[in-house]
């Protein structure tokens, strides 16, 4: 059997990311435990005496996650920050990373030095150690750095994606959309916020927004639940408005679908008054809004609805036949 | 600064793998602890209450580690086995893996299913769980799978690459050379052997042979030590003789330089009689030879010597300007 095929229906792009992940879980069978101990949450949880371990992995690939306009330092920092955001989404503390490089022969030593300078600076800031890695030669024109990050649960529990119930509320940190105007490199992973939230009994489930609210919210609301989002309440970033002016579409659509927000989306227990949570949040994080954007309902087949309108799936798709428009992402 | 450069002296290939790793350690500074807690051993050791954790990472990349002639199942198994061998070299037990995929759009679903079948079968056999990963679209023609493996120390101690002293003896498991005739896919990582050796007080240091004895032995003998190898004692695989007939060179040269043996090379305390070790070894592993191949001497600037001849460095180089001859590796 050949690695690559010209028959469209037999290509991974015909499945899309979500279904391909489902297939991989099936192929692995009992080798992959159910989430959060296996595939399916922001990190995998490895139960331990004492505090559970968290594991996550995310790469940066030239032409896919960055282009020539992005400084090498920012690429190195982003590699770590993407993974830090996954640890934040479970309320964990990052500890240890390994980095596997696949490098074309023509890769510049100077560029790589700056890349590592950015990675090291970010690691120092978050007290992460980079303890190992691998270097392999790749075909001409290819650069990929694949980081695996280990962390530890901070609180007695880990916040997973599971736990939402009808009647619960949806909250999000920060503002959404327009990340390509800079936020996708300058974002701060919400580690302190995630750790704090993991200690609050009101929080039932959490995820970091990497593929856009419209897509990621579905991970928190398995059928027959759905998310009933209030369009007027969704915090729209100034860059989403700028980006909408430049590229068309409404600012709200960009807030829903651009992706790479790296904010935290969480499910708050609907039976508990949220006043205490919000008051305490403002004391600890006075500069970062925490906004109620909707609630969990029984939705039948709807993935989520926006005010009166039912919306189809959306957000960033990692595997699509035509990837040209996402090259600079 | 540009990612790729046409100036030879500024390319990563002008450094070679060993010096590039040295640079990366420098760039990371105090973010990378000294080996074995950071870069520089088969795995990084993460000290823990109870048993230390071990972390290692190795990929398989199309055109580099396999070609169209290799069945997808064998590629999937090899991805895990490469990493298992690193755990074996420290006397650890493998536990948990994550896999990051970079896939061209035309990647075949059927090929990938077989790849995961091979990976899952190998994981089941070694009781490894695959708990997570990532999927990212890569440029046309690229396929890379990047695995990070976590393990645990089995014995009270972990066997590192450090600890050799003048007067110690060098031993190797199995037979060396000619791996491209099949062994580089069919090999068995020496996990049981590594665990057993970690409990033997005679073993001072250990490494798995991935780049060839000539290159890997240097990792065990930092200056001013050198390895004095006995050419008549080096166990030469039948495939090394076959490969030598086909491609030229002596069988010994192939045993020294082919790489991908995935046997264990170890330093045995020269002050302890090795009879007990060998007798016990034969009882536990009657089918796998353990052979004394040389000793540790004070060598001045020599990296290692072979009988009367001083040999230059050698073995598989991961970064070289002309990689064409290694494509099927």
The ipTM assigned to this model is 0.92
pLDDT at A249: 85
DSSP-assigned letter for residue B114? H
pLDDT at A107: 98
The pLDDT of residue A149 is above 70: yes
Of the listed ranges A43-47, A95-99, B16-20, B288-292, the one predicted with least confidence: B16-20
pLDDT at B122: 98
The pLDDT of residue A175 is above 50: yes
pLDDT at A63: 95
Asked if A38 has any chain B CB less than 8 Å from its own CB, the reply is yes
Q: How far apart are CA A198 and CA A159, in angstroms?
A: 6
pLDDT at B305: 72
Mean pLDDT score, A264-293: 96
Interface test with B, best of A102, A137, A316, A329 (most B CBs within 10 A): A137
The pLDDT of residue A313 is above 70: no
Residue B308, token pair as written in the block? 């009367």
B91-120 residues touching A, CB cutoff 8 A: 95-96, 98-100, 102-114, 116-117, 119-120
Nearest residue of A to residue B141, measured between CA atoms: A4
A297-326 residues touching B, CB cutoff 8 A: 318-321, 323
> Given pLDDT bands bounded at 50, 70 and 90, which one contains residue A58?
very high
Nearest residue of B to residue A99, measured between CA atoms: B57
Q: How far apart are CA A155 and CA A241, in angstroms?
A: 38
Of B62, B117, B131, the CB nearest to A27: B117
Q: How far apart are CA A205 and CA A210, in angstroms?
A: 16
Highest-scoring range by mean pLDDT, A310-324, B20-34, B293-307: B20-34
Q: Verify whether the Cβ–Cβ distance B129 to A39 is below 8 Å.
A: no
Q: Verify whether the Cβ–Cβ distance B98 to A46 is below 8 Å.
A: no
Of the listed ranges A124-128, A312-316, B301-305, the one predicted with least confidence: A312-316
Closest to A318 in 3D by CA, of A82, A84, A44, A160: A82
Q: Verify whether the Cβ–Cβ distance B131 to A37 is below 8 Å.
A: yes
Q: How close A286 comes to chain B (CA, Å)?
A: 31
Q: How close A326 comes to chain B (CA, Å)?
A: 11
Q: How far apart are CA A112 and CA B13, in angstroms?
A: 12
Average predicted confidence (pLDDT) for chain B: 92
pLDDT at B262: 98
- Kindly list the residues from chain A whose CB atom is less than 8 angstroms away from the CB atom of residue B117: 27
- Kindly list the residues from chain A whose CB atom is less than 8 angstroms away from the CB atom of residue B320: 105, 137
> Given pLDDT bands bounded at 50, 70 and 90, which one contains residue B326?
very low
pLDDT, tens digit (0-9, with 9 covering 90-100), for A225-277: 999 999 999 999 999 999 999 998 899 999 999 999 999 999 999 998 899 99
Mean pLDDT score, B205-218: 95
pLDDT at A296: 94
pLDDT at A303: 60
pTM across the whole model? 0.93
Mean pLDDT score, B64-78: 96
pLDDT at B249: 85
Angle between the N-to-C axes of helices A109-125 and B16-28, in degrees from 0 to 180, rounded to the nearest 10: 40
Percent of chain A with pLDDT over 90: 84
A175-194 residues touching B, CB cutoff 8 A: none
Q: Verify whether the Cβ–Cβ distance A113 to B138 is below 8 Å.
A: no
Of B95, B129, B134, the CB nearest to A38: B129
3-state secondary structure chain A: CCCECCCHHHEHHHCHHHHHHHHHHHHHHHHCCCCCCCCCCCCEEECCCCCCEEEEEEEEEECCCECCCCCHHHHHHHHHHHHHHHHHCCCEEEEEEEEEEEECCCEEHHHHHHHHHHHHHHHHHCCCEEEEEEEEECCCCCEEEEEEEEEEECCCCCCCCCCCCCCCEEEEECCECCHHHCHHHHCCCCHHHHHHHHCCCCEEEEEECCCCHHHHHHHHCCCCEEEEECHHHCCECHHHHHHHHHHCCCHHHHHHHCCCCCCEEEEECCCCCCHHHHHHHHHHCCCCCEEEEEEEEECCCCCEEECCEEECCCCCCCCCCCCHHHCCC
Residue B85, token pair as written in the block? 């061998």
pLDDT at B50: 83
Interface test with A, best of B20, B31, B111 (most A CBs within 10 A): B31
Mean pLDDT score, B93-99: 98
The pLDDT of residue A10 is above 70: yes
Asked if A280 has any chain B CB less than 8 Å from its own CB, the reply is no
pLDDT at B329: 35
Q: Verify whether the Cβ–Cβ distance B144 to A143 is below 8 Å.
A: no
pLDDT at A60: 98
- Kindly list the residues from chain A whose CB atom is less than 8 angstroms away from the CB atom of residue B20: 109, 135
pLDDT at A47: 92
- Kindly list the residues from chain A whose CB atom is less than 8 angstroms away from the CB atom of residue B74: none
Closest to A79 in 3D by CA, of A3, A144, A11, A152: A144
Average predicted confidence (pLDDT) for chain A: 92
Q: Looking at per-residue confidence, does A318 or B151 come out higher?
A: B151
Contact B220, B205 (CB under 8 A): yes
The pLDDT of residue B319 is above 70: no
Q: Verify whether the Cβ–Cβ distance A3 to B111 is below 8 Å.
A: yes
Mean pLDDT score, B51-74: 96
pLDDT at B90: 97
pLDDT, tens digit (0-9, with 9 covering 90-100), for B213-252: 999 999 999 888 999 999 999 999 999 999 999 998 899 9
Of A1, A123, A131, the CB nearest to B111: A1
Strand A129-137 and strand A92-103: pairing?
A: parallel
Asked if B134 has any chain A CB less than 8 Å from its own CB, the reply is yes
pLDDT at B178: 95
Of B108, B119, B128, the CB nearest to A2: B108
């Amino acid at each position: 059997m050949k690695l690559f095929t010209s028959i469209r229906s037999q290509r991974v792009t015909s499945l899309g990311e979500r279904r391909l992940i489902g297939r991989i879980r099936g192929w692995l069978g009992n080798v992959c435990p159910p989430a959060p101990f296996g595939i399916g949450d922001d990190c995998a949880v490895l139960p331990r005496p004492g505090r559970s371990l968290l594991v996550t992995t995310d790469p940066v690939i030239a032409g896919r996650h960055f282009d020539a306009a992005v400084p090498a330092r920012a690429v190195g920092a982003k590699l770590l920050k993407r993974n830090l955001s996954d640890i934040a989404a479970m309320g964990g503390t990052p500890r240890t990373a390994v980095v596997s490089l696949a490098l074309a022969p023509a890769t510049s030593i100077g560029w790589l030095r700056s890349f590592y300078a950015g990675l090291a600076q970010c690691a120092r800031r978050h007290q992460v150690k980079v303890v190992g890695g691998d270097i392999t030669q790749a075909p001409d024109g290819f650069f990929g750095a694949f980081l695996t990050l280990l962390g530890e649960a901070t609180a007695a529990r880990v916040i997973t994606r599971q736990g939402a119930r009808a009647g619960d509320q949806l909250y999000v940190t920060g503002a959404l959309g327009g990340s390509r105007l800079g936020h996708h490199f300058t974002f701060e992973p919400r580690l302190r916020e995630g750790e704090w939230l993991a200690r609050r009994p009101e929080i039932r489930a959490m995820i970091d927004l990497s593929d856009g609210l419209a897509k990621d919210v579905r991970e928190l609301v398995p059928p027959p639940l759905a998310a009933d989002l209030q369009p007027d309440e969704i915090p729209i970033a100034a860059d989403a408005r700028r980006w909408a002016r430049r590229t068309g579409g409404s600012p709200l659509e960009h807030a829903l679908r651009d992706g790479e927000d790296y904010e935290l989306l969480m499910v708050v227990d609907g039976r508990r008054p949220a006043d205490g949570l919000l008051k305490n949040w403002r004391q600890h994080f006075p500069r970062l809004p925490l906004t109620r954007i909707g609630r969990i309902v029984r939705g039948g087949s709807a993935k989520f609805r926006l005010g009166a309108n039912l919306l189809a799936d959306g957000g960033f798709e990692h595997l699509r036949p035509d990837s040209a428009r996402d090259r600079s992402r």
